[in-house]
Amino acid sequence: MSRRTLVVIGHGMAGHRLCEALLERDTETAWDVVVLAEEPRPAYDRVALSSVFTGRTADDLTLVSEGFLDHPRLALRLDDPVVAIDRTTRMVTTAAGFTIGYHALVLATGSVPFVPPVPGRDATGVHVYRTIEDLDAIRASAAGARTGVVVGGGLLGLEAANALRSLGLATHVVEFAPRLMPMQVDEAGGQMLRAHVEALGIGVHTATVTERITAGDDGRVRRILFARHPDGLTGLDVDVVVFSAGIRPRDALARESGLAVGERGGVVVDTACRTADPAIYAIGECALAAGRVHGLVAPGYAMAEVVADRLLGGCATFTGGDTSTKLKLLGVDVASFGDAFATTPGALPITFADPTKKTYKKVVLSDDARRVLGGVLVGDASSYAALRALAGSAQALPDDPAQLILPAAGGPTGGVALPDDAQICSCRNVTRGQVTAAIDAGSLTDLSEVKTCTGAGTGCGSCIPLLKSILTEKLAAAGVAVSNALCEHFDHSRAELFEIVRARGITTFSQLVSEHGRGRGCEVCRPVAASILASIYNRHILDGEQAALQDTNDHVLANLQKDGTYSVVPRLPGGEVTPDTLILIGEVAKEFGLYTKITGGQRIDMFGARLEQLPRIWARLVAGGLESGHAYGKALRTVKSCVGETWCRYGVGDSTTLAVELELRYRGLRAPHKIKMGVSGCARECAEARSKDVGIIATENGWNLYLGGNGGYRPRHAELFAGDLDTPTLVRHIDRFLMFYVRTADRLQRTAPWIESLDGGLEHLRRVIVDDALGICADLDEAMARHVHTYTDEWKATLADPDKLRHFVSFVNLPDAGDPDIVRVLERGQPRPARAGERAVLVAGPRLAVSPAGHSPGGQA
């Protein structure tokens, strides 16, 4: 088969999905694909655009998997838009003069923001909200600004309002319709959504007509004026205006090429997504398909799948995409699906509203109340995935359909079993049957495996809770035990054991395992129990029976290194260190022959201490005022900081003082995993706070708090939890966050996956520790206060206790002897462990050699 050339104009979400789908299926290598893109970067997740303001980067949003652009039959040309299509010769030309012929052409040019013809819309400080570059421009305008207005109260309008609010601006939303999100939610849902938005301090102006924008002598926007406002308001003083009043399909190339377009725009295509020219297709937001322009991701992906199939000789059709939506707008869950407005003849709506919790739910049923047609969810969208799946199937409903939306309705589907043809993931058009088949075929046991094999859950992510439910159901049906048990000795999870120990007043592992477990424990449950006991009672980790529960590091209060020696890491709160302390550390390192290094956590680590040397080293350090840095424990490690406003000319907050206070407050707190924090004195983020479990960034009005970041194997950026906090409120939030994490996380679970595992994620966490939805905040506060007041330095207490010091001998019969197997090499003036080849030479002779940087030992010392 001779290879042909496919040219794709546009590398947005739909264009990229087409490339993926085609190259995945084109096993006979029928097509070479050339993508011509206007934007300067490859396809990214435009749905998650607002997350750029909460710490995510353009790289975080990319949709391009590693190595995809290296595909031998794919070429991507960025930052060079197509300016002409010659349908006669089948050639396209770009702005830079690049030309290429095609056998087939796909228009995936997307859309542009609609800006109403409002006088003054060209003033400085007026923006649209569409690309990463738009967000960069909004951020620049917001610097030093006080008030922002978003014109448009739909999906993107509320996203834009959240962005302005996160930048510290007093924010208003102006909407022409009588309610917010008029295309997605009904009147009652709009009222509930408005209550949520106004509770955040955002001004909402519905049924309002924008008349014009006025600017000052410098050309910058100063005021927005209204031609109509329900309260008679004539205008608002404003520094930044963002238009988010809808989109218009980018169909100029089609018009200029003589292709048919709709009366209100959009390239006219048939059910194959093909234009009147059989060689040209259109997909995504530029296409007028099934009688409408679809401004959502799922229909664009569905069109991409159809075109990929057609290019390979298939007969797939597009007859209308899934227009359901689920978003978290300003921290509020909002979803709609199917016939949300009950327009089907005979449709029966059932509604449930709880003003105290600001939740509204509506499910629309068929006239016989046997099928779901659609629905609206505001404030609690936990049942969205299941309800949307039911709306696409003929599955019969229970005798009391209200179970589908009432609280405690019996599971994610209200007790209704989903059929195999129920669509689980609308972004990738994956059904329940496909998910279960993949689980069976691949013997899948992990959610990440299901996502990889099916593609479900890799788009907007709203179907992930339902995927988890299906996986659990399949494993249980296959006889695979679905258990949250910690190990074979306990039938409880770590969180359950924590509550058992706390509620029953259990103080030893022996008591715990005899009353609530079996056997003698193992390397899994024993350290977990030790951590729980230390967290609750804040006793010394080596007290009594607890000493025998610890792993290697906690057992000797030091980190074991590759050559059998240990590291010594004193705490340096906030990275501050006095000259006297530096001298002391240097003297100790010199006396004991230790390798020293300043780490990324703003600590000075000393490596190479033998076990029996640890007490003598720490005696020197403790006498000099230093204490354990807990580098060996699942506990708070460090609170990294910049110098803040004390020294930096850009600083707006005293980051060092706050970092010191936080590190001293939380030192010694035992947790399911290590905890790291960072405090930056301004938005320049020199402390890299958003890569930490707890990140804090100073603003002109206080502190922004970010939660759930981490480095490591799967780096995560922390997400904005609350903004412009005063210090007492900030500390209270962190107290509760840490204590809730300590109580409920699984064994060795970092804060990032823990937050993801919560039903509702960060919003659930906000309800728990800010709104006190579970009524436990007073208990969390008390627990943290008890930790702070009972803290003692572990090494200081160890040095004062002869029983504890018995742990620190290398050989029982020779307590002061060193390990004869330790062999060192000098490199760059410091000792390091000898490598395998070096040991072979040195083991029979002197145990220390000198090695110039990058060379083998050049001589013996």
Helix (H) or strand (E) holding 641: strand 636-641
DSSP string, 414-458: TTPPPPTTSEEETTTTEEHHHHHHHHHHHT--SHHHHHHHH-TTS
pLDDT (mean) for 67-85: 93
DSSP 471: H
Most confidently modeled range among 285-294, 322-331, 803-812: 285-294
Alpha helices in 543-684 (DSSP H): 552-556, 579-592, 614-623, 644-647, 655-666
β-sheet bridge partners, residue 242: 127, 150
Instruction: Please give the residue that has the higher pLDDT: either 262 or 324.
Output: 262
Distance CA 305, CA 431 (A): 15
Per cent of the chain over pLDDT 90 is 44
Which of 546, 515, 417 has the alpha carbon at shortest distance from 474? 417
Structure tokens at 656: 């060092």
Centre a 10 Å sphere on the Cβ of residue 664 and count the other Cβ atoms it contains: 16
Helix (H) or strand (E) holding 128: strand 126-128
Give the model's pLDDT for residue 385.
74
pLDDT (mean) for 705-716: 80
Which of 528, 542, 457, 456 has the alpha carbon at shortest distance from 498? 528
3-state secondary structure of 707: strand
Alpha helices in 104-144 (DSSP H): 132-142
CATH architecture of 420-481: Orthogonal Bundle (1.10)
- Exposure pattern of 834-846 as b/e (b: 16+ CB <10 Å)? beeebbeebeeee
Q: Are strands 240-243 and 147-151 parallel, antiparallel or unpaired?
A: parallel
Cβ 704 vs Cβ 725: under 8 Å: yes
CATH architecture of 331-416: 2-Layer Sandwich (3.30)
Cβ 57 vs Cβ 47: under 8 Å: no
Pick the CATH number of 115-245 from 3.20.20.80, 3.40.50.2300, 3.50.50.60, 1.20.1440.230: 3.50.50.60
Could you tell me the pLDDT band of residue 836, with boundaries at 50, 70 and 90? low
pLDDT (mean) for 662-670: 93
Asked if pLDDT for residue 148 goes beyond 90, the answer is yes
Q: In what order do the strands lie in the sheet with 636-641?
A: 636-641, 675-680, 694-699, 702-707, 719-725
Give the model's pLDDT for residue 812.
47
Count of residues for the chain? Answer: 861
Give the model's pLDDT for residue 585.
94
Give the model's pLDDT for residue 461.
63
Dihedral sign of CA atoms 251, 253, 255, 258 in order: negative
Lowest-confidence range among 40-44, 89-93, 527-531, 821-825?
821-825
Lowest-confidence range among 228-242, 411-425, 743-757?
411-425
Asked if pLDDT for residue 713 goes beyond 70, the answer is no
Structure tokens at 18: 């087409």
Which of 651, 566, 652, 650 has the alpha carbon at shortest distance from 612? 566
Structure confidence by residue, pLDDT tens digits, 284-295: 999 999 888 988
Structure confidence by residue, pLDDT tens digits, 609-628: 988 899 999 999 999 999 99
DSSP string, 401-414: GGGGTSTT-STTTT
Distance CA 529, CA 136 (A): 48
Q: What angle do CA 834, 836, 839 make, to 5 degrees?
A: 55
pLDDT (mean) for 706-718: 80
Longest Cα–Cα distance in the chain: 94
> Is CATH 3.40.630.40 the classification given to domain 551-628+793-809?
no
- CA-atom Rg of the chain in angstroms: 31
Alpha helices in 234-367 (DSSP H): 252-256, 297-311
Structure confidence by residue, pLDDT tens digits, 388-414: 878 867 777 777 888 788 764 444 444
Instruction: Please give the residue that has the higher pLDDT: either 814 or 160.
Output: 160
Structure tokens at 150: 């978003």
Distance CA 754, CA 751 (A): 5
pLDDT (mean) for 61-88: 92
Q: Are strands 675-680 and 694-699 parallel, antiparallel or unpaired?
A: parallel
Cβ 423 vs Cβ 429: under 8 Å: yes
Residue type at position 139: R
3-state secondary structure of 613: helix
Q: What angle do CA 300, 305, 309 make, to 5 degrees?
A: 145
- Helices (H) then strands (E): counts for the chain: 26, 41
DSSP string, 197-258: HHHTT-EEE-S-EEEEEEE-TTSBEEEEEEEE-TT---EEE-SEEEE-S-EEE--HHHHHTT
Q: Give the mean pLDDT of the chain.
A: 85
pLDDT (mean) for 361-389: 85
Distance CA 526, CA 510 (A): 10
Strands, E assignment, 506-560 = 559-560
Structure tokens at 256: 């200029």
What dihedral angle (degrees, nearest 10) is formed by the CA atoms of 407, 411, 416, 422?
110
Distance CA 407, CA 291 (A): 38
Name the residue with tokens 């728990």: 768
Report the top-level CATH class of 4-112+249-311: alpha beta
Helix (H) or strand (E) holding 116: none
Angstrom CA distances, 773 to 215, 519, 758, 770, 779, stand at: 45, 38, 14, 8, 13
Lowest-confidence range among 123-127, 735-739, 803-807?
803-807
Instruction: Please give the residue that has the higher pLDDT: either 713 or 605.
Output: 605
Distance CA 226, CA 171 (A): 16
What dihedral angle (degrees, nearest 10) is formed by the CA atoms of 230, 236, 239, 240?
10
682 belongs to an annotated ligand binding site: yes
Report the top-level CATH class of 635-792: alpha beta
> What is the CB-side half-sphere exposure of residue 580 using CA atoms within 13 A?
6
β-sheet bridge partners, residue 277: none
Distance CA 198, CA 283 (A): 38
Give the model's pLDDT for residue 412.
47
Distance CA 575, CA 657 (A): 11
Give the model's pLDDT for residue 477.
74
Asked if pLDDT for residue 850 goes beyond 70, the answer is no
Distance CA 168, CA 165 (A): 5
Q: Are strands 848-851 and 824-827 parallel, antiparallel or unpaired?
A: parallel
Distance CA 739, CA 733 (A): 10
3-state secondary structure of 94: strand
Cβ 661 vs Cβ 653: under 8 Å: no
CB-based contacts of 573, cutoff 8 Å, min separation 6: 639, 659, 660, 663, 664, 667
Name the residue with tokens 């909004």: 138
- Distance from CA of residue 800 to its chain's centroid? 45
pLDDT (mean) for 533-557: 75
